[in-house]
């Protein structure tokens, strides 16, 4: 990168002191769908290191992107300039047993956070399907679990510290710097680098989960009844069929009883054999509907229940790498959206070269939020997620499915999950989010030199005029996203 020639000897020495991976190291996200090669792969130890990096970037025209686990199935973390691996910043800073809050450095992974909380008899009120993300990454994209009475992770943050694009440190909460707080709790990494957060938790609890076979119609014909049938409710629909699985979980004082999963059925057959079957289906896609029926009958047709610590029940195995797309629609729009998606899938099955899609379509529910860019901003939502697995990291056709899915979501007032690759751009987002213009203005105030701009931010957040003017001074990523599929 030509801009690196502007580094002074002292700047270069400082950056080298933080380097954690050699030059040319390739970064890739978990699904290996996006990659980039940062010139500097650094691991700061403290806020002073981060401020130093930002000041150098401002002087030399470099861009800076922090990463946590790299789990986002998009290019949101990609840069060819300076990448900050935040894994060293995972310390516990304070906790308040009475208020049930915990303050941590923002690089801590959720699976470590669960243990830290458990040691203090606390837990997160709602957790998503995985816990590999950093708390900052989960917050920055409004990662969510499920439960009509529970918000996303962004809504659980009661205070945060952010270093902006000038190196200035901001501490904000509901009373202090409230606009910055409401913008930064789902910032996409566009406002600065979050270094610490305070999280509202609750006393540790166990969940009693019951997983029951059902049908899509039975769940959505009276959706209000379904979503209120337990504290936490999730639905998996199996495309090309009417089959579905209802998952319900409630807080309990029952004795712990681990999940009745078996190695043969759930690991050998449900993971290894299924991956092999999907690999073969790349050459014979017409086998996918019958494969879906087979796995529903063998793995999901019987009820099962278990009791365990909350985070163990919330989490489950997401199997192997995948393309994934997820949007949030207003709760009242969900039945229509799901029925329209089913009609499209069924119509494709009647076409010789129509799309054949993988199971499941995952349906979850989240309480409305006051976070500016949360997909649940000022409305209770139903998240609908679709998936196409990449057996052995091999590509599969997905773009036709994605296009139809996104068209359906748009017609039902949908907003995309920020961590996923999606096709909502500046003017689309401006009309969808009441506070989008305020967020764009906040980004200009926090990052006047475009230090935190990468292709993802340029594509989705910058006004077209700014996007063009910043194009020459920001990073480029190498996106291996199988464009012909």
pTM here?
0.94
- Give 111: exposed, middle or buried? Use CB within 10 Å, 0-12, 13-18, 19+: middle
- First-to-last CA distance in the chain? 31
Kindly list the distances between the CA atom of residue 68 and the CA atoms of 28, 29, 374, in Å, as whole numbers in the listed order: 12, 10, 20
**Spatial separation of the C-alpha atoms in residues 376 and 366, rounded to whole Å:** 7
Q: Are 301 and 373 a contacting pair, CB within 8 Å? A: no
- For 58, the token pair is 């401002």
Tell me the sheet residues that pair with 361: 237
Strands (E), 318-441: 322-330, 361-366, 381-389, 415-416
Distances (CA, A) of 51 to 10, 59, 105, 125, 336: 15, 12, 15, 33, 49
Residues 188-242 have pLDDT tens digits of 999 999 999 999 999 999 999 999 999 999 999 999 999 999 999 999 999 999 9
Residue whose pair of structure tokens reads 């000897």 in the numeric block: 9
**What whole-number distance in Å separates Cα of residue 231 and Cα of residue 480?**
40
- Sign (positive/negative) of CA torsion 76, 78, 84, 86? positive
Token digits of residue 10: 């002292």
Percent helix, strand, coil in the chain (nearest 5)?
A: 35, 25, 40
Contact 67, 409 (CB under 8 A): no
Query: What is the rounded distance in angstroms from the CA atom of residue 478 to the CA atom of residue 430?
Result: 28
Phi and psi, residue 143, nearest 5°: -60, 145
pLDDT tens for the 485 residues of the chain, in order = 456 767 888 999 999 999 999 988 999 988 888 999 999 999 999 999 999 999 999 999 999 999 988 888 899 999 999 999 999 999 999 999 999 999 999 999 999 999 999 999 999 999 999 999 999 999 999 999 999 999 999 999 999 999 999 999 999 999 999 999 999 999 999 999 999 999 999 999 999 999 999 999 999 999 999 999 999 999 999 999 999 999 999 999 999 998 888 899 999 999 999 999 999 999 999 999 999 999 999 999 999 999 999 999 999 888 888 999 999 999 999 999 999 999 999 999 999 999 999 999 999 999 999 999 999 999 999 999 999 999 999 999 999 999 999 999 999 999 999 999 999 999 999 999 999 999 999 999 999 999 999 999 999 999 998 876 664 433 333 334 443 44
Which of 379, 380, 398, 378 is closest to 388 using CA atoms? 398
Look up residue 47 and give its two tokens.
């806020």
User: Which structure tokens are listed for 245?
Assistant: 């699985």
Query: Cβ–Cβ contacts within 10 Å for residue 231, how many?
Result: 18
Rounded-to-integer distance, Cα 152 and Cα 139, Å: 8
Q: Which two tokens stand for residue 384?
A: 């609908």
Enumerate residues 6+ apart whose C-beta is below 8 A from 428. none
Share of the chain above pLDDT 70, in %: 95
- Measured distance CA(289)–CA(188) in Å, rounded: 37
């Amino acid at each position: 990168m030509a801009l690196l020639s502007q580094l002074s000897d002292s700047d270069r020495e400082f950056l080298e002191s933080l380097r954690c991976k050699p030059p040319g190291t390739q970064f890739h996200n978990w699904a290996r769908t996006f990659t980039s090669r940062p010139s500097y792969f650094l691991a700061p130890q403290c806020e002073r290191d981060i401020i130093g990096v930002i000041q150098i970037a401002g002087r030399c025209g470099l861009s800076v992107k922090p990463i946590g686990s790299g789990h986002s199935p998009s290019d949101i973390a990609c840069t060819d300039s300076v990448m900050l691996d935040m894994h060293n910043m995972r310390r516990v800073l304070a906790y308040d047993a009475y208020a049930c809050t915990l303050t941590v450095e923002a690089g801590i992974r959720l699976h470590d956070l669960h243990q830290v909380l458990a040691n203090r008899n606390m837990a997160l009120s709602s957790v998503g399907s995985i816990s590999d993300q950093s708390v900052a990454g989960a917050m920055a994209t409004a990662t969510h679990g499920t439960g009509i009475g529970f918000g996303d992770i962004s809504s659980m943050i009661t205070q945060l510290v952010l270093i902006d694009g000038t190196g200035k440190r901001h501490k904000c909460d509901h009373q202090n710097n409230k606009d910055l707080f409401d913008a930064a709790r789902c910032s996409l990494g566009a406002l600065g680098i979050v270094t610490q957060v305070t999280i509202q938790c609750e006393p540790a609890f166990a969940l009693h989960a019951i997983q029951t076979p059902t049908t899509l119609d039975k769940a959505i014909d009276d959706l209000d009844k379904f979503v209120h049938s337990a504290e936490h409710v999730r639905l998996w629909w199996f495309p090309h069929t009417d089959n579905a699985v209802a998952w319900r979980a409630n807080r309990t004082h029952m004795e712990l009883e681990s999940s009745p999963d078996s190695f043969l059925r759930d690991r050998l057959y449900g993971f290894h054999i299924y991956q092999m079957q999907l690999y073969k289906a790349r050459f014979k896609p017409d086998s996918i509907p019958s494969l879906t029926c087979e796995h529903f009958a063998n793995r999901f047709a019987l009820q099962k229940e278990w009791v365990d610590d909350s985070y163990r029940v919330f989490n489950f195995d997401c199997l192997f790498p995948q393309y994934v797309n997820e949007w949030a629609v207003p709760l009242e729009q969900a039945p229509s959206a799901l029925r329209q998606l089913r009609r499209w899938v069924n119509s494709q099955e009647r076409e010789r070269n129509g799309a054949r899609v993988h199971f499941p379509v995952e349906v979850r529910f989240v309480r409305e939020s006051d976070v500016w860019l949360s997909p649940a901003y000022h409305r209770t939502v139903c998240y609908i997620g679709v998936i196409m697995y990449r057996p052995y990291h091999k590509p599969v056709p997905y773009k036709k499915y994605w296009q139809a899915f996104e068209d359906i979501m748009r017609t039902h007032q949908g907003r995309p999950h920020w961590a996923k690759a999606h096709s909502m751009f500046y003017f689309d987002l401006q009309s969808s989010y009441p506070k989008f213009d305020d967020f764009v203005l906040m980004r200009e105030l926090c990052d006047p030199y475009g230090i935190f701009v990468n292709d993802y931010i340029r594509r989705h957040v910058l006004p077209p005029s700014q996007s063009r003017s910043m194009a020459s001074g920001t990073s480029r990523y190498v996106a291996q996203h199988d464009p012909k599929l």
